[in-house]
Amino acid sequence: MKEMYPKKGRVILHVDMNSFYASVEMAYDSDLKGKPLAIAGNPEERRGIIVTCSYEARKFGIRTTMPLWEAKKLCPDLIIKKPNFDRYRTASAAIFDILRQYTEVVEPVSIDEGYMDITECSDLGTPLGIAESIQKRILEQLDLPCSIGVAPNKFLAKTASDMKKPMGITVLRKRDIPKILWPLEVGEMHGVGTKTADKLKSIGIDTIGGLAAANEIQLKGLLGINGLRLKERANGQDNRHVDPDSVYDFKSIGNSTTLPRDISNQHELLKVLDRLSEQVAARMKRKEAVATSISVMIRFKDRKTITRSQKLQNPVSKKEDIAAVAKTIFLKHWNGDPIRLLGITGTDLLEADKAVKQLDLFSYEQDAKKEPLINTMSQLREKYGKNIIESAGLQVKKPPTKENTGAGTSFNKDFLQDRRRSNESEKKDF
């Protein structure tokens, strides 16, 4: 069996659940199977955007991010359900529990996809046999379909898992790249978004093969270091390891909201920023993080979207501080036109206990009064460990309801952090 595994390289699987939220709802209620189903926000408000939909719904042209009203025009019989994040979180945890029964080298990258390194799993069967076993078990035990890519690195595994959906298994080797990948349009490559594809096409790079053969100096001038990285990927090169500890990483914390109507009243918009600041601050407390930059996203009535950021001298995590910076950014860049969406994101995050505050003229007196207490706490932490004393601001229990009712990145990051804590508890129990 070891002959089926490379002597020097790796064998990586990318497991990607198919239409995850819709599939979970169908597993929960079998009457939904075979019917056009969409998971979306509040149908009574304009924020009703399609989060995901079943493959039956996709046959009508319905797609992710489509407004609900447009989806209903395409398919009047479309069944619409609101997201049930507790249900999805439970299903996801069960999926990753199954994956870890094959190997501990599992890296969740979102609530519905993850990488596995099965290089040392030759005793379990061939790579293709393991992929088939995983797919079968997830379907039989959880009634959930998935696609799996089998490849020598993460990039190729991710690419392979997208090739056959639903319920596909694809093996993609480096020797397959010229025939399978290079003829594809460059925009179809994982990691190349619409804007990047447009930039590449502007210099005559239309296919993945063209990117693989592109001039490195020209690429770096156009896209910076990312251009060189994309060329490596186009040639099948990816040295990233499957890292189970990557769930520890998070680079930003943000919340956004689509307004129930277009708003141009400044007082109302500032109130929205207050609410968003409170949500971001609560999540920062839970993550024990502070932000050294704040960005504000503004989407106007005509859907034009701008994002503006401000680097901070002192890190922030409190609602009042976040709101003050966000409002300053907003008022500076808002032109008075009606707005349909607002968002606030804290970026360049630091762990709260490692953040260093730069004293300025206005905060010096206030901080000086706290210095004896801070020194005492630092000495205690150094002697007995950093968790011996925690500030009241960090003693926040996770609420039973979802703070972030959207279905995007914020929910996925929260999920990954929760999985990290769960894994640590399991290791201690063992």
16 assigned ligand-binding residue: yes
Closest CA to 273 of 290, 291, 298, 251: 298
Closest CA to 277 of 329, 222, 346: 346
Among residues 25, 113, 320, 382, the one annotated as catalytic is: 113
Spatial strand order of the sheet with 305-316 comes to 252-263, 339-351, 289-300, 305-316
| Model pLDDT, residue 275 | 95
Q: 3-state SS of the chain: helix, strand, coil percent to 5?
A: 45, 20, 35
| Model pLDDT, residue 379 | 57
Contacts of 426 (CB under 8 A, 6+ apart): none
206 assigned ligand-binding residue: no
Ordered per-residue pLDDT tens for the chain, 430 residues: 666 788 889 999 999 999 999 999 999 999 999 999 999 876 555 457 888 999 999 999 999 889 888 999 999 999 999 888 889 989 999 999 999 999 999 999 888 999 999 999 999 999 999 999 999 999 999 999 999 999 999 999 999 999 999 999 999 999 999 999 999 999 999 989 889 999 999 999 999 999 999 999 999 999 999 999 999 999 999 999 999 876 656 678 899 998 989 999 999 999 999 999 999 999 888 877 888 899 999 999 988 889 999 999 888 999 999 999 999 999 999 999 999 999 999 988 877 765 554 444 444 445 455 545 545 655 555 555 545 544 444 444 334 433 333 334 455 555 565 555 555 444 433 3
Q: Cα separation of 94 and 98, whole Å? A: 6
Segments of the chain assigned to CATH 3.30.1490.100: 247-429
Fold of 1-173: Alpha-Beta Plaits (3.30.70)
Closest CA to 39 of 108, 98, 111, 97: 111
DSSP label at residue 374: H
| Model pLDDT, residue 417 | 57
Residue the block writes with tokens 């309801």 = 401
Q: Cα separation of 332 and 210, whole Å? A: 42
Q: Cα separation of 393 and 217, whole Å? A: 49
| Model pLDDT, residue 173 | 95
* DSSP code string of 227-238: HHHHHHHHTT--
| Model pLDDT, residue 396 | 41
Judged by DSSP in three states, 320 sits in helix
Q: State the distance between the two ends of the chain, measured CA to CA, in whole angstroms.
A: 31
The answer to whether 145 and 139 are in contact (CB under 8 A) is yes
CATH placement of domain 182-234: 1.10.150.20
The answer to whether 226 and 211 are in contact (CB under 8 A) is no
Number of alpha carbons in the 13 Å side-chain half-sphere of residue 318: 7
| Model pLDDT, residue 361 | 44
Residue the block writes with tokens 């609101």 = 82
Q: Cα separation of 132 and 218, whole Å? A: 43
The answer to whether 171 and 132 are in contact (CB under 8 A) is no
Is 216 a residue of the active site? no
Whole-number CA gyration radius for the chain: 24
Burial of 59 (0-12, 13-18, 19+ CB in 10 A): exposed
Identify the CATH assignment for 247-429 out of 3.10.20.30, 3.30.1490.100, 3.40.50.300, 1.20.200.10.
3.30.1490.100
| Model pLDDT, residue 392 | 44
DSSP label at residue 48: -
Torsion-angle region of residue 273: left (phi > 0), alpha (psi -120 to 50) or beta? alpha
Segments of the chain assigned to CATH 1.10.150.20: 182-234
Q: Counting runs of H as helices and runs of E as strands, what totals does the chain give?
A: 15, 12
The answer to whether 92 and 84 are in contact (CB under 8 A) is no
